[in-house]
Amino acid sequence: MQYRRFGQLDWEASALGFGAMRLPTLGAKNQIDEPLAIRMIRFAIDHGINYLDTAYPYHGGQSEILVGKALQDGYREKVRLATKSPVRIIESGDHFDRVLDEQLEKLGVETIDYYLLHGMRVARWNTVQEHDLLARADKALADGKIRHMGFSFHDSPALFREVIDSYDNWSFCQIQYNYMNEEYQAGTEGLKFAADKGLAVVVMEPLLGGRLVNPPDEVTAIWDAAPVQRTPAEWALSWLWSKPEVSVVLSGMSTMWQVVENVYYASQSSVGMLDEADQAIVAQARDVYNAICPIPCTQCQYCMPCPNGVDIPGVFALFNRAIMYNAMAEARRSYSEMDGGERASACVQCQVCEEKCPQDIPISQWMPLVHAVLGEGEAYDPSLCPVV
């Protein structure tokens, strides 16, 4: 395993961090395959991963419990543990304190190494200020319940700078970043700004929720023609590890094989590992993806549950697969097998999901088009697509 400086702290983090948002399940999101998930996490730690990330809402509230079990038997001492305060549901400063105590109990620890305000965007940043949550964070730091304070982020570069400049005790931040998102949300601008301020930068969604792992033929042709052969995942991760400002790249792994592969890739990583020719190849892949991917959904599940039962990430995944992989018949068949209440046709345009979407997707505008193409057999017309 390779290690990288974690901002201004006297500690080096593994190049790869384990994200506990996409653990293996037995079907339902909150039914984690506990034995397999624990084996995966411990395998990762045994092979050098020392940064483990979870959050209050992951897997319907079960992720922190599972992580706590995985860290028994001496594994707690081998890692730095990160979790997040669910700002979206916090109603007061006292509520912030109660949730933190609940998280400590679920994780089975006395201290959380890295605590984040979860998913900062305008509404949540307003909540932080309204309830003076940064003062509560200072008290938690003083009491030893947390060791370092940070935030994860899904909004504009301007808000990103405001959040960083509003508090002196940030040690790190977490941003969505990959070769498709250089100018999206915090982007490269935010990456450099945070690093210049001395913050460690943890990267989430390095593979865009898995979208960059199984590319369409047009992108596969680019990778196949490259002088140095890498898997699509390795290209995406290497692009991030090449940047000196990146402290940790998180991967939400669902299978043991993904853990094995990613640990190997991390062991070969280094700053500047992609040269100019490699960077040009990645840029070609980016251009092709931008041309053919209709809906920028990362399958993060933040939009769920839908009040009306629509499987928003599911129907979007089918739609993107149909267009990007020229698999319309397969997608329509899978769509027809979905429960009627889960299909796009069940959307009532309430827009509750749009308030939660980190990608700012106009979900309610997409739903009629998705159903027309997948459910009613209409031809796909790109000119009808909503603009994100």
pLDDT tens figures, 308-362: 999 999 999 999 988 887 779 889 999 999 999 999 999 999 999 999 999 899 9
Q: Answer yes or no: is 89 within a domain.
A: yes
Q: Answer yes or no: is 301 within a domain.
A: no
Total domains, the chain: 2
- 181 near 187, Cβ under 8 Å? yes
pLDDT digits (tens, 9 = 90+) for 138-191: 999 999 999 999 999 999 999 999 999 999 999 999 999 999 889 889 999 999
pLDDT at position 388 is 65
pLDDT digits (tens, 9 = 90+) for 208-240: 888 788 888 899 999 999 999 999 999 999 999
CATH number of 52's domain: 3.20.20.100
Tokens of 291: 């041309």
Among 166, 173, 97, smallest CA distance to 126 is for: 166
Q: Are residues 256 and 359 in the same domain?
A: no
Q: What is the share, in percent, of the chain residues with pLDDT greater than 90? A: 86
pLDDT at position 3 is 98
Residue 350 lies in domain: 312-384
pLDDT at position 75 is 98
Q: Are residues 324 and 273 in the same domain?
A: no
Q: Answer yes or no: is 330 within a domain.
A: yes
CA distances from 384 to 68, 133, 298, 323, 331 (A): 47, 43, 21, 14, 19
Q: Are residues 335 and 205 in the same domain?
A: no
DSSP helix/strand/coil, 49? coil
Question: In angstroms, rounded to a whole number, what is the distance separating the alpha carbons of residues 363 and 346?
Answer: 13
293 versus 374: the higher-pLDDT residue is: 374
Handedness of CA 112, 250, 315, 27 (dihedral sign): negative
Q: Are residues 318 and 286 in the same domain?
A: no
Q: Answer yes or no: is 202 within a domain.
A: yes
Q: Are residues 354 and 259 in the same domain?
A: no
Q: Are residues 197 and 83 in the same domain?
A: yes
pLDDT bucket at 122, cuts 50 / 70 / 90: very high
Q: Are residues 40 and 80 in the same domain?
A: yes
Tokens of 74: 């001496």
Report the Cα 61 to chain-centroid distance in Å.
16
Q: Answer yes or no: is 297 within a domain.
A: no
Long-range contacts, 274-279 (Cβ 8 Å, 24+): 274/238, 274/239, 274/242, 277/227, 278/226, 278/228, 278/238, 279/239, 279/242
Q: Answer yes or no: is 298 within a domain.
A: no
pLDDT digits (tens, 9 = 90+) for 193-212: 999 999 999 999 999 888 78
Domain boundary among 290, 324, 347: 290
Question: In angstroms, rounded to a whole number, what is the distance separating the alpha carbons of residues 144 and 141?
Answer: 5
Question: In angstroms, rounded to a whole number, what is the distance separating the alpha carbons of residues 216 and 325?
Answer: 5
- 51 near 4, Cβ under 8 Å? no
Q: Are residues 38 and 178 in the same domain?
A: yes
CA angle 90, 91, 93 (to 5 degrees): 85
- 205 near 301, Cβ under 8 Å? no
Q: Are residues 185 and 334 in the same domain?
A: no
Question: In angstroms, rounded to a whole number, what is the distance separating the alpha carbons of residues 48 and 317?
Answer: 33
Q: Are residues 316 and 373 in the same domain?
A: yes
Tokens of 336: 């027809």
- 32 near 65, Cβ under 8 Å? no
Among 150, 178, 121, smallest CA distance to 13 is for: 150
Instruction: Annotate 183-198 with DSSP letters as a single string.
Output: TSTTHHHHHHHHHHTT
Considering all CA atoms of the chain, what is the largest pairwise distance in Å, rounded to the nearest integer?
Answer: 60
Q: Answer yes or no: is 328 within a domain.
A: yes
According to DSSP, residue 25 is labeled B
CA distances from 201 to 6, 187, 360, 380 (A): 8, 12, 22, 40
Q: Are residues 284 and 316 in the same domain?
A: no
Domain boundary among 257, 290, 323: 290
pTM for this one?
0.82
Question: In angstroms, rounded to a whole number, what is the distance separating the alpha carbons of residues 262 and 16?
Answer: 8
Among 223, 242, 221, smallest CA distance to 233 is for: 223
What residues pair up with 72 in beta bridges, in sequence order? none
pLDDT at position 290 is 80
Among 259, 347, 257, 261, smallest CA distance to 308 is for: 347
Q: Answer yes or no: is 102 within a domain.
A: yes
Q: Are residues 126 and 256 in the same domain?
A: yes
